[in-house]
Chains A and B, each alone.
Chain A
Amino acid sequence: MSEIRDTYEVVIGLEVHAQMLTKSKAYSNDKNEYGSVPNTNVSAVTLGHPGTLPVMNKKTIENAIKLGLALHCDIAENQYFARKNYFYPDLPKGYQITQDLTPICTGGYAIVKDENENEKKIGLTRIHMEEDAGKSIHDIDVKDTLVDLNRAGVPLLEIVTEPDFRSSTEAYNYLTEIRKLVRYLDICDGNMEEGSMRCDANVSVRKIGATEFGTKIEVKNMNSIRNVQRAIEFEITRQIEVLENGGELFMETRQYDALKNITIAMRSKEAANDYRYFPEPDLTPLKVTVNQIDAIKAEMPALPRDLFLRYTNEFKLSEYDAYNLTDNKSIALYYESILKRTKEYKLAANWMMGDIKSYLNSQGKEMEEFPISAEKIADLISIIQEGKISNTVASQKVFPEMLNAPEKSPLAIAESMNLIQDSNEDSILGFIAEVMKQHPEEVTRYKNGEKQLTGFLMGQLMKISKGKADPKSANQMLRNELEK
């Protein structure tokens, strides 16, 4: 199979729907909230009652512009909305208010890694604003379908890519990037399991060298990024098999079944699509000014890719560290806060990826729940850097105590636990004299050439000093004394 597969090229385009984290809905003032009692977040507008009029939520436009800027899109100056007409019970108005001919963002791209870890650009066709439908529940009651309209009218951003993906891995990496981005921008919580971020994949295959695209098949119903990848993989294999067996593919929508890891035909697309778009007369046109875009630009947080490039280029962190520090917004923000008080980039990164991460993992906690402030971690790093305590003592003694008493300063903890290192020359010389007195035999052997005995003698010195001698200066001074 893999040899046959190598003669085909895979072409994928993705459509992502992201539910916006607004307080109210797109065109009406009822609550936008997940998990409420059914049919409580509704208004006369959402229910499609006669005589009601939609009014656009300002925040949705800001969100769309933010995402557009982050993805290098052109922002349309003049826009208007459109009605997409179809009948379905969870769409009370009988049409969805969306953007058809004048999407708010066009062009742009995302930078994504392919399977060889090389970066490539995925072109974006458009990003537009629209509203979600309600929820139909078919499996609670035998005879009836139940309808909950809490979700109806929830603002969405639809992000459509060009058919630029050549593998399911690229699709996986793209979705990871988009999710990271919407979370950094506070636009969407990116939760695919709860459906606040959804993805449809358009998958086709063609013989390598073919100039025409193959038949495009849409796959839906994937509730995780991993499942999007699996569904695409299944679809590639299925399509190649059909073609290799002399069969024909036709445009259709298929549903992914995660339990069986297969896709199933849902409906044929040929006749179904006739949405009769026309301009939405109940909303005024939108005009976006350059000033408005500049104001939003000024408020944008640092984006994961900018941080990644700064950490690798400026701070000289490894790509691995930089990736892990920027993967999650709250981790990146915490790291940035540490750096406000110390310039020990590498040491701070080690603490983030080491002790702090292990603590969070072992407690099953998120960064937001970490009890110690970034300022206190910065102070801890400073006293290590100043040689007051060793990294080991910081990690094994001071850090656990900080977790118990997050309000205490690390210096106060180190002092009260009597952990401050002694870098006073006289006292270190005293320790050395004591070691040499206790172990004359080893000293003689050292002088006769067994240089590796410094390790043993240093160990004794640390023991005598009860771990408080500053190991760096003690080591140097011990060698000096032994060479005398």
Chain B
Amino acid sequence: MKITDEVIEHIAHLARLEFEGDKKVTIKEDMERIISFIEKLQELDTENVEPLIFMSDEVNVLREDVAVDTLTQEQALSNAPKKDSDYFRIPKVLG
């Protein structure tokens, strides 16, 4: 399958990545290769085969509704590049 510039730009935007010049060409070729692997798999006849979503047979792994304090506010904020005493701080986003 041919990957167009529009597809690359759309996916790059969704991933918040930017590709310019040579890098755009490289990523396009990589994606085409990945897609063709998948196309190979799709040649297989899966009529009447139930889709397999989970690799394990486990169901209903649940927990009781009990609240526990696991992190302090200080710990929670400790890895943030920018913070104040209460909040994570990030560059201004609107809406």
Binds B, one of A26-34, A236-244, A312-320, A326-334: A26-34
Query: Contacts A37-B73, A44-B71 known; A58 to B53 CB distance under 8 Å?
Result: no
Contact B88 A146 (CB under 8 A): yes
Contact A136 B93 (CB under 8 A): yes
Complex interface: chain B residues within 8 A of A42 (CB): 71, 73, 76
Query: Contacts A55-B61, A80-B53, A287-B60 known; A141 to B67 CB distance under 8 Å?
Result: no
Q: How far is the CA of A89 from the CA of B94 in the complex (A)?
A: 11
Contact A284 B56 (CB under 8 A): yes
Most buried by A among B10, B65, B89: B65
Selected contact of A44 from candidates B69, B70, B73, CB within 8 Å: B70
Selected contact of B88 from candidates A55, A60, A149, CB within 8 Å: A149
Looking at the assembled complex, report how far the CB atom of B49 sits from the nearest CB atom of chain A, in whole angstroms: 17
Contact A145 B93 (CB under 8 A): yes
How many residue pairs link A and B with beta carbons under 8 A? The number is: 125
Residues 105-158 of A contacting B (Cβ, < 8 Å):
136-138, 141, 143-149
Q: How far is the CA of A194 from the CA of B15 in the complex (A)?
A: 33
Q: How far is the CA of A147 from the CA of B89 in the complex (A)?
A: 6
Contact A23 B71 (CB under 8 A): no
In the assembled complex, B63 has its CB within 8 A of some CB on chain A: yes
Contact A30 B60 (CB under 8 A): no
In the assembled complex, B2 has its CB within 8 A of some CB on chain A: no
Complex interface: chain A residues within 8 A of B77 (CB): 39
Which residue of B has the minimal Cβ distance to A286? B60
Cβ proximity bits B45-87 to A, threshold 8 Å, 1 near / 0 not? 0000000011010111111111111111100110000101011
In the assembled complex, A300 has its CB within 8 A of some CB on chain B: no
Contact B92 A147 (CB under 8 A): no
Complex interface: chain B residues within 8 A of A47 (CB): 71, 76
Q: How far is the CA of A30 from the CA of B59 in the complex (A)?
A: 23
Contact A284 B60 (CB under 8 A): yes
In the assembled complex, A196 has its CB within 8 A of some CB on chain B: no
Looking at the assembled complex, report how far the CB atom of A167 sits from the nearest CB atom of chain B, in whole angstroms: 30
Query: Contacts A80-B53, A144-B90 known; A61 to B62 CB distance under 8 Å?
Result: yes
Complex interface: chain A residues within 8 A of B23 (CB): none
Binds B, one of A273-281, A343-351, A382-390, A461-469: A273-281
Query: Contacts A39-B87, A43-B71, A274-B14 known; A138 to B66 CB distance under 8 Å?
Result: no
For the residues of A in contact with B, the DSSP-based class is loop
Contact B73 A89 (CB under 8 A): no
Selected contact of B66 from candidates A23, A89, A284, CB within 8 Å: A23
Contact B63 A57 (CB under 8 A): yes
For the residues of B in contact with A, the DSSP-based class is loop
Complex interface: chain B residues within 8 A of A149 (CB): 76, 88
Complex interface: chain A residues within 8 A of B65 (CB): 22-24, 57-60
Q: How far is the CA of A80 from the CA of B56 in the complex (A)?
A: 13
In the assembled complex, A400 has its CB within 8 A of some CB on chain B: no
In the assembled complex, A397 has its CB within 8 A of some CB on chain B: no
Complex interface: chain A residues within 8 A of B95 (CB): 266-267
Selected contact of A39 from candidates B16, B67, B88, CB within 8 Å: B88
Looking at the assembled complex, report how far the CB atom of A434 sits from the nearest CB atom of chain B, in whole angstroms: 71
Query: Contacts A29-B68, A80-B54, A281-B54 known; A146 to B89 CB distance under 8 Å?
Result: yes
In the assembled complex, B21 has its CB within 8 A of some CB on chain A: no
Looking at the assembled complex, report how far the CB atom of B9 sits from the nearest CB atom of chain A, in whole angstroms: 11
Complex interface: chain B residues within 8 A of A136 (CB): 93
Looking at the assembled complex, report how far the CB atom of B56 sits from the nearest CB atom of chain A, in whole angstroms: 7
Query: Contacts A55-B61, A285-B54 known; A148 to B87 CB distance under 8 Å?
Result: yes
Query: Contacts A39-B77, A55-B62, A284-B56 known; A144 to B86 CB distance under 8 Å?
Result: no
Complex interface: chain B residues within 8 A of A59 (CB): 64-65
In the assembled complex, A40 has its CB within 8 A of some CB on chain B: yes
Contact B89 A24 (CB under 8 A): no
Q: How far is the CA of A44 from the CA of B76 in the complex (A)?
A: 8
Q: How far is the CA of A225 from the CA of B78 in the complex (A)?
A: 40
Contact A29 B67 (CB under 8 A): yes
Complex interface: chain B residues within 8 A of A147 (CB): 87-90
**A-B CB proximity, top 3 nearest:** A59-B65, A146-B87, A147-B88
A interface vs B, CB < 8 Å? 22-24, 29-33, 37-40, 42-44, 47, 55-61, 80, 85, 87-89, 136-138, 141, 143-149, 266-267, 274, 276, 279, 281, 283-287
- Sample (9) of A-B pairs whose CB atoms are under 8 Å apart: A23-B66, A32-B67, A39-B76, A39-B87, A42-B76, A138-B94, A141-B89, A285-B54, A286-B59
